Structure formats: C-alpha cells, structure tokens
A and B are shown apart, each in its own frame.
Chain A
Amino acid sequence: MNFTILRFDTINSTNTEALKQARRGAAEGLTIVARRQTAGRGRHGRTWVSAENSGLYASILLRPQVETRFVPLITLMSAIAVFDLLRENYDLKPDIKWVNDVLIGEKKICGILAELTETNDGTAVVVGIGINLKSSAFPPEIASTATSIESESGTKPAAPEVLDRLLGFFGYFYDRFTDDPAFVIGEWASRSSYFRGKNVRVATGGETIEGVTDGLEDNGALRVRRVDGSVTIIQAGDVERLRHAR
C-alpha cells in the first residue's frame, strides 16, 4: 500500500485528525504524524503521554475490504509490525501482551489504539501508534512501567526514521492481512508469550477473571482457561501477568 504523510508540529490527537480526514474522504494510507500531541488518547480516554520529540505519534487511515468479523485483527497485525520494527532495526527482544501492547522486559514501549467509523466512502479504521523514543520525559507515574527505544538500545532514533521503517513493516503486513486475515493469528502466536500457558488476570468491562491463556479465537479474542476448566473468551479487557498461578 502507499502512504501519504501529513506532518504536524503540534496536534490534539493524531487519531482525531485522521478520523476527521477519513470523514472528508481521505484515501487509505493517509498517515498523520506529530512531534507532540496535546490530547494523546489511549483506551477509554486514558492519556497517552506525548511530549515533544519523546515518541513517535502516528495514525494510519485504512479502508479494509475484509469480512467485518476479521477487522479487529488489524490491531494485532499492527503490533506485529511494531514488534518486527523493534527486533529487526533496533536489535530488541520485544513481547506482545494481549492484545497489542508491545513490551520490552515487561515494560511498555508501544501502545496502539484503533478506531472504526462509517464514512460516506465506507468503513474507515484509524490505527494510532505511539512508540516511546526516549524515557527522559516520562512522568513519574509511568517511569517504572514504560520504556523507550533509547533506554533499551542505547541509540537515539529520530522519529522520521522510525516512522519510515515502521510503515515498511506495516504496509507489508497489512497487504498480507487483506489477502488472508487469518494469517495474523499464527504470526501473533509466534511473537507473543501471552498466546498460551500464561497466568493472567483480565479486567473486562463487567468482571475480573484469572486463569491461564489458551490461544486465540479466529477474530483475535483471547481464550482464558479458569481453574474450574471453563474457558472464557475475552473480546476486550486489560490483561495483567500473574507471577504465580492461583
């Protein structure tokens, strides 16, 4: 796929801008990138800290032509692209925590938030990707749980270079996804320690459950086997690793 990059110095949120452009009819591949976000968003309105030049803040507009039930696999596919970027270009050993948090040594280095909206030109999906480039601007509340490319690799990557490399991986995996969405599951499984046998606690909208991970459904949902042997399928929730089985 082809990317058209729109660069901003400061923006409220790259996702918000990309959604706006999508409603105006922008084509697939539009990428909004900013040096700083004033209202960077995570899941459920959580803040994504977006200090100037401390991270790559980018949102990519997609217009996927796949079955609706497979569309959520885009977020897993995006994590795979970031995983390979970090492994191939920065010599890091990432992990993926369900569903698309990219970690280095259990610290978060990348967060991905995708939003879907219907436009006059069909379904639009905006994938927002935040990659921490350096740790010095981390506020105290995330300093112990977040990390950055600079902290982990010792190199000082520039955002444009990281974006350029990221889009290479992203375009490759997105093309494969549109050919055959099911490929995502196997690729995710080979990169994530959370795929099977991980003791986890999952906070969903309604309840918190504990159990052992037991693979993914074909739409990317996480299977968690509980102590009583029953399997709960998680479509949305926060996963936390448990050190000891309970």
Chain B
Amino acid sequence: MSENLASAMAEEKSEARRRKSAPKVTGEPSRASLNMGELRELAELVNEHGFTDFEFENANIRVRLSKATGVHAVPAAPVAAPVAATAESVTAESAPVAAESDEGLFKITSPIVGTFYRAPSPDKDPYVKEGDKVSEATVVCIVEAMKLMNEIQAETTGEVVRIYVENGQPVEFGQPLFGIKR
C-alpha cells in the first residue's frame, strides 16, 4: 500500500513538473470539471495500477480517487463501484501548484517512545487516512507504552497527506507520525 502510494505521489510530482515546463496549454478551454467518461477512464487507470489513493490538481480542478481497502470485502471487478471519485472545482488561482513535498507540512510527532497503532483495535477502521480533514482535537492514532494507550490528537487543522509509520511499528520520542497540510 505504501509503495503504491509512493508511486502515485511520484506520478503526481512528475505531472506537476510537466505543468511547470509547459504552463499554458492552449487550444483547449480550461474547464472546472470532468465528465463521467473521463472520470471512469481515470478510475480505471488508477485501479489498473493498483493504487489506493490518487490525487491530481491544477489551477482549475482537483481530483482525488481513493479506494477502500480491507475491512469491507469489495467484490472484484466493476471499477466504478469500489472507486469513490470526487471532483471538485477549485477557485481559479493563478499561483502555480507546487510539487507535493514534505516541506511546509505540519508534523504530528510522538510524545513518547512506544508502539504506533492506527486503529483502536485490529478489527476497527483507522482513526484517519490520507485525505481526511482533521482539527485540533481529532484523534489520529494511539501510541502504546507499558499498556498505557496514548491518544494522539492532531493539534492543528488541515488534511492528512502523509502517514510515516506502519501500523504496529515502534516509534521514538519526537518521531514524525503524520504530515498535515494546513
């Protein structure tokens, strides 16, 4: 899953680079939405590559595709069903979209040495996943030490864009757990 995500991010970055080198695409009027056919095509492409999350953004449009994994067994096949697609228009801003990097992200760090858990128990959904909006009091994970379950709160408002640690892994004091875009 993290590998897929990494490649999705990589693709996203190269897309951003392409845009930088050729900022003006002429000939096609700028649009603030995709039609269903284009969405479906995109969803198929993402599904084909096994990505669980995909995000694309330019001055006019932002598309995020995210595929539910685990927990609910999704029947294999119809791409339209398992892939939830959202398209939203973004207010036209001329500022170029920077390539996604960790710079500028707010890092939620571990307050103690312990073991990182993304969900309250193995059969429960994670507290948060990439793309989720959080606010100060949102619980994002548990760090367990000596059977003391530490609820870690976001302590900022924004969107989860990075999850640095795998479920069940040990973490050190001060180690970044999540990257939040504010």
Is B115 within 8 A of A69, CB to CB?
A: no
The reply on A205 being an interface residue by CB < 8 A is: yes
The reply on B36 being an interface residue by CB < 8 A is: no
The reply on A115 being an interface residue by CB < 8 A is: yes
Is A44 within 8 A of B145, CB to CB?
A: no
Residues on A lying within 8 angstroms of B by beta carbon are: 43-46, 68-69, 71-76, 99-100, 112-118, 125, 204-206, 219-221, 235-237
Cβ-neighbour of A116 out of B122, B123, B150, B169 (below 8 A): B150
- Chain B: residues with Cβ within 8 Å of the partner, total of 27
The reply on B120 being an interface residue by CB < 8 A is: yes
**Docked complex Cα distance between A219 and B143 (Å):** 14
Chain B residue at smallest Cβ distance from A117: B151
Contact with A along B101-122 (1 / 0, CB 8 A): 0000000000111111100111
Name the A residues within 8 Å of B170 (CB-CB): 204-206, 235
The reply on B60 being an interface residue by CB < 8 A is: no
The reply on B131 being an interface residue by CB < 8 A is: no
* Given known contacts A69-B173, A204-B170, A205-B168, A74 and B148 CB-to-CB distance under 8 angstroms: yes
What is the distance, in angstroms, from A41's C-beta to the closest C-beta of chain B?
Answer: 9
Name the A residues within 8 Å of B173 (CB-CB): 69
Cβ-neighbour of A115 out of B112, B123, B151 (below 8 A): B151
Is A75 within 8 A of B120, CB to CB?
A: no
What is the distance, in angstroms, from A121's C-beta to the closest C-beta of chain B?
Answer: 14
**Docked complex Cα distance between A221 and B172 (Å):** 13
Cβ-neighbour of A72 out of B117, B122, B148, B166 (below 8 A): B148
**Docked complex Cα distance between A245 and B123 (Å):** 34
What is the distance, in angstroms, from A184's C-beta to the closest C-beta of chain B?
Answer: 10
Name the A residues within 8 Å of B150 (CB-CB): 116
**Docked complex Cα distance between A75 and B150 (Å):** 12
What is the distance, in angstroms, from B155's C-beta to the closest C-beta of chain A?
Answer: 8
What is the distance, in angstroms, from A162's C-beta to the closest C-beta of chain B?
Answer: 21
Contact with A along B27-42 (1 / 0, CB 8 A): 0000000000000000
Name the A residues within 8 Å of B124 (CB-CB): 45
The reply on B153 being an interface residue by CB < 8 A is: yes
**Docked complex Cα distance between A36 and B77 (Å):** 47
Is B146 within 8 A of A116, CB to CB?
A: no
**Docked complex Cα distance between A93 and B161 (Å):** 52
